[in-house]
Structure 1
Amino acid sequence: MADDTIDLFVGLIETIDTPGAVDAYRQFLSANERARADRFMFERHRRQYIFAHAMLRLALSHVAPNVAPSDWSFDTGRYGRPFVASPATALHFSLSHADGCVACVVSRHEAVGIDVETVSRRVAPLSTALRFFAPEEVETLRGLPEPDATQRFFDYWTLKEAYLKARGFGLNLPLDGFAMQVSQKAIEISFKPDIADDPDGWRFSLSSPSPSHRLAIADGSRTAGGLPISRHAWPLQDAAE
């Protein structure tokens, strides 16, 4: 891993969930993580949690191969953002999962975030946007026909969530406090006057891991042109060995 890189790991559950995979990945989790997995009411949620948190551990160890996947421990910051508690490392991460997909990014820059959403679920773009989004985003959605409005809605949603994760504020920063502008040329962000942030310091990317998923990455490293993203095939060859 180069110092100025975002390492991206994305896995579709259908390609991960092979016979014996859950038990193999479960072995990488801490006792607390295994206990939390066991508390899920639905089996699909339990399996998704196991795959996502095992992916994070394996991804960190892929970037820092001197640390075994089971040796990472985590804590949370003031607003609930998880971080590596031990061993001491310069690595930062962001983790996301939706029905059928798990994803994470690892970087030496703290201000990185990722979000993945299932775009096949039913949603009312305009009514949801009216509740949560900035006025500029609502007006853009009003002017789009279906299914373009639904696609742009998920662009906005994933980009906003990725930004919030990168800032580490969670929902303590309202979704209507900043607006995304998406075009073929660029993805940009703007802020209300009361939000102290520099829009020029952010770079964003959008992709579709599958026809059913939309994924966004927020890069607040302030690196000129943004950090290059290195995508790794998942599962890693040695992930479940």
Structure 2
Amino acid sequence: MGAGEPTFLWLLPERAVNGFATALGGTRLLTDDERAGLERRSGEGARRRYLGARLLSRYALSACTGRPLDRWRFTRGPHGRPEPQSSADGVRFNLSHCDGLIACVVTRGRACGVDVGPTAAPDGLAAHLARRLGPAERARLEGTAPGARPALAGELWVLKEAYLKALGTGLTRGPGSFAFVRRPDGRIAVEDPLGAGDDARWWFDVVHPGPRHVLAVATEHGRPGLLRRTDLSDLSLTA
């Protein structure tokens, strides 16, 4: 995979995690550190999402490369982003999950990021997010009909997170330091004063995989129509 080649998006509903894990042998694929991380999670939902995300990453990476599921080991970048260890083929991936849904994006030789959240940000969260947007984004949000603001806030936030994850910084960088705009042709573009040429460098997809969720994918040197989505269960049942 390289520029002009597909970006692969894999989606796993949380309600399907138990069956998915059983099919892959439960926790057998996890490292000792990952098993310890699973035990540290408090609450059944948190443990289910943690396990599902670790298994989904291996499944998606193996589907894209043909490497056996049990051969994947991971390292972490300076800001904690996981990367395949000793990946000679240059494969990259990113994970996100929220209540009800787990997502994994895979590319080769290109940075990528994914973030998933609720379709409409709750009122309190929408106000909190607005304070962390850029000036033009806040103006756009304030100019939107009140009933549509939670959905716009949710979309802007997953775009912010996906981009920061693709950059590898996560929220160590302020989300108000750059802004998203829609070009006249409908394309979503980032205006980033710290990244010359980012408008041409990045492609963004916004996906509504079901009635409860919105997600964004940021792909370095992406192209329109190259996102390949695989649903591992019927997402129409997640409402």
The one-letter amino acid paired with 1:232 is: T
What is the 5 A alignment of 1:34-45? 34-45=35-46
Q: Aligned residue pairs: how many?
A: 231
In the TM superposition, residue 110 of structure 1 has moved relative to its aligned partner by 2.8
The one-letter amino acid paired with 1:58 is: Y
Q: 1:227 to 1:19 in 2, by over 3 A?
A: closer
Q: Residue 205 of structure 2 contacts residue 216 of structure 2 at CA under 8 Å; is this kept in 1?
A: yes
Q: Residue 30 of structure 1 contacts residue 70 of structure 1 at CA under 8 Å; is this kept in 2?
A: no
In the TM superposition, residue 190 of structure 1 has moved relative to its aligned partner by 0.8
In the TM superposition, residue 88 of structure 1 has moved relative to its aligned partner by 3.4
Deviations 1:69-116 (A, max 9, x none): 121110111122111113533100011111110001111133111111
Q: 1:129 to 1:9 in 2, by over 3 A?
A: same
Alpha-carbon distance between aligned partners in 1 of 2:75 and 2:36, rounded to the nearest angstrom: 16
Give 3-state SS (helix, strand or coil) of 2:96's partner: strand
- Which residue of structure 2 lines up, in the alignment, with residue 103 of structure 1? 103
Give 3-state SS (helix, strand or coil) of 1:17's partner: helix
Q: Over the residues paired in the alignment, what is the CA RMSD in angstroms?
A: 2.4
User: TM-score normalized by structure 1?
Assistant: 0.86
Task: Check if 1:15 corresponds to 2:45.
Answer: no
Q: 1:19 to 1:109 in 2, by over 3 A?
A: closer
Identity of aligned residues (%): 30
Alpha-carbon distance between aligned partners in 2 of 1:164 and 1:60, rounded to the nearest angstrom: 21
- Which residue of structure 1 lines up, in the alignment, with residue 207 of structure 2? 207
Q: Residue 190 of structure 2 contacts residue 199 of structure 2 at CA under 8 Å; is this kept in 1?
A: yes
Alpha-carbon distance between aligned partners in 1 of 2:146 and 2:125, rounded to the nearest angstrom: 10
Alpha-carbon distance between aligned partners in 2 of 1:17 and 1:121, rounded to the nearest angstrom: 27
Alpha-carbon distance between aligned partners in 2 of 1:124 and 1:177, rounded to the nearest angstrom: 22
Give 5+ residue unaligned stretches, structure 1.
Answer: 236-241
Task: Check if 1:230 corresponds to 2:228.
Answer: yes
Deviations 1:18-68 (A, max 9, x none): 497398342221121111101111111001100111000111111111x22
- Which residue of structure 2 lines up, in the alignment, with residue 51 of structure 1? 52
Give 5+ residue unaligned stretches, structure 2.
Answer: 234-239
Alpha-carbon distance between aligned partners in 1 of 2:205 and 2:2, rounded to the nearest angstrom: 19
The one-letter amino acid paired with 1:105 is: V
In the TM superposition, residue 197 of structure 1 has moved relative to its aligned partner by 5.0
Give 3-state SS (helix, strand or coil) of 1:11's partner: strand
The one-letter amino acid paired with 1:129 is: L
The one-letter amino acid paired with 2:211 is: P
Deviations 1:185-239 (A, max 9, x none): 22111123x4545222111111112111111001122x5x35711112316xxxx
Deviations 1:114-161 (A, max 9, x none): 111123663436531342110111111111123311111011000011
User: TM-score normalized by structure 2?
Assistant: 0.87
Q: 1:2 to 1:234 in 2, by over 3 A?
A: farther
Alpha-carbon distance between aligned partners in 1 of 2:129 and 2:87, rounded to the nearest angstrom: 41
Greater fraction helix: 2
Alpha-carbon distance between aligned partners in 2 of 1:151 and 1:182, rounded to the nearest angstrom: 16
Alpha-carbon distance between aligned partners in 1 of 2:58 and 2:20, rounded to the nearest angstrom: 21
Give 3-state SS (helix, strand or coil) of 1:203's partner: strand
Q: Residue 17 of structure 2 contacts residue 48 of structure 2 at CA under 8 Å; is this kept in 1?
A: no
The one-letter amino acid paired with 1:90 is: G
